Amino acid sequence: MPARYALSYVPEKDSPLSNFGREWLGRDIDTAEELEQHQVPGVEKERLKELTHWRRSDGLHGVLKPPFQLNPGSSFNCLMDTAHLFAQFLEQVEIPQLEVNIIGKFVALTPTIASRQLVELASDCVRVFEGYRKPIMVDVDSRYRHDKLTVYQKRMLKHWGYPYVMEEFRFFIPLTDRIEDDEERNLITKAITKISKPVLKQPLSIRELTVLRQISRQDPMRIVTRIPFGRA
């Protein structure tokens, strides 16, 4: 499968949130280094790895434009040029606090207060880089079998390749994969809440646009570049 790219918020290197991500997932998204993963009482070590498999592979980040394959008519260099130009016109986004939340059946960090500025940032990312996305056919029944998509979400999926964009966008930083067992999910949620307390008290500033690349679905997401907002 061709490489996939995504535009995301990635916590600044060595920030409290970045350090939390390394501890919880056992992976450094900046270096791709595998680390010892935080253990949860009552959950076996290998079981926790299973329940966080894709999150460990992706690293700690919040998606602004979901992963996409490059349109054959575009190029990696053009994508990078557009990302640098786009970032020049962006302004810092402030989020007062994060909280631990359950979305569907996975655990994530989400803003305590909805941010219109953040929705606009994500929407702009989707629009500006849409020309770089290779259109793909999506089997809705298979891929979104756990979701009950609305008519509008299906329309977004058809037009933008993902149902939760524009007005449907919700910013989150996923910490687990889907956890079907309620007891396991509760144990993990309690553990995350405990070790993330110092992070949850801190305001979050989004002031960089990060381009991520995944060579194949079996490979981890890697940072291509971090681009500061505004003109240098």
Q: How far is CA 92 from the centre of its chain?
A: 18
Q: What is the pLDDT of residue 39?
A: 92
**pLDDT, average across residues 98-121:** 93
> Which domains are present in the chain?
4-134+173-228 (3.90.1140.10)
Q: What is the pLDDT of residue 20?
A: 94
Q: Which helix (H) or strand (E) holds 78?
A: helix 76-88
Q: Where does 7-63 have alpha helices with state H?
A: 16-25, 45-51, 53-58
- Going by pLDDT thresholds of 50, 70 and 90, the confidence category of residue 144 is low
Give 216's contacts (C-beta < 8 A, 6+ positions apart).
1, 3
- Going by pLDDT thresholds of 50, 70 and 90, the confidence category of residue 139 is low
Task: State which of 1-5, 6-10, 94-98 shows the largest mean pLDDT.
Answer: 6-10
Q: What is the pLDDT of residue 163?
A: 82
- Record the tokens describing residue 21, joined without a space: 């991500």
The answer, as to whether pTM is greater than 0.85, is yes
Say if CB 134 and CB 71 are below 8 A apart: yes
Give 86's contacts (C-beta < 8 A, 6+ positions apart).
124, 125, 128, 129, 209
Q: What is the pLDDT of residue 232?
A: 62
Of 165, 95, 160, give the one whose Cα is nearest residue 131.
Answer: 160
pLDDT per residue as tens digits for the range 171-198: 999 999 999 999 999 999 999 999 999 8
- Model confidence at 140: pLDDT above 70: no
Q: What is the pLDDT of residue 142?
A: 57
- Going by pLDDT thresholds of 50, 70 and 90, the confidence category of residue 74 is very high
- Going by pLDDT thresholds of 50, 70 and 90, the confidence category of residue 98 is very high
- Model confidence at 36: pLDDT above 80: yes
